[in-house]
Structure 1
Amino acid sequence: MARTQTPPGECPQCWQHANDRRAHRHLRPREDCPQCVDHMLNGHPYIVPKQTTRRR
């Protein structure tokens, strides 16, 4: 089962589609996911920000 929260530095949609089998369950064999194709062509609309580290 996939984690419920997207790790820092990752796209939430890509993370879900890569780690949750339910995301592509509705597709036939060898059928492309329209959302994934859109991501490949147009990039990521949102990336979870990484936490900044403080140096002393």
Structure 2
Amino acid sequence: MAHRETPPGQCPQCWRHAHDRRAHRHLRPREDCPQCVDHMINGHPYIVPKKKSRWW
């Protein structure tokens, strides 16, 4: 799959792990990804900022 840039409002790690098969290639079947587990417990360290709305 071609690399796509993380869209605004999304976490780069979540986005990569959801859309890039290489992120979990090293895991055995039914094995949890340590990075994803840590991410679920501790939350998102960084979210790509959204552009300011110019509606008003």
TM exceeds 0.5?
yes
Dislocated runs of 4+, deviation >2 Å: none
Q: Note the C-alpha offset of 1:54.
A: 1.5
Gaps of 5+ in 1: none
**Could you tell me the TM-score, scaled by structure 1's length?**
0.91
Deviations 1:11-48 (A, max 9, x none): 00000000000000000000000000000000000000
Superposition RMSD on alpha carbons, in Å? 1.2
Contact 1:2 1:16 in 2 (8 A): no
Identity rate, percent: 79
Q: TM-score, normalised by structure 2?
A: 0.91
* Structure 2 gaps, min length 5: none
SS of 2:28's equivalent?
coil
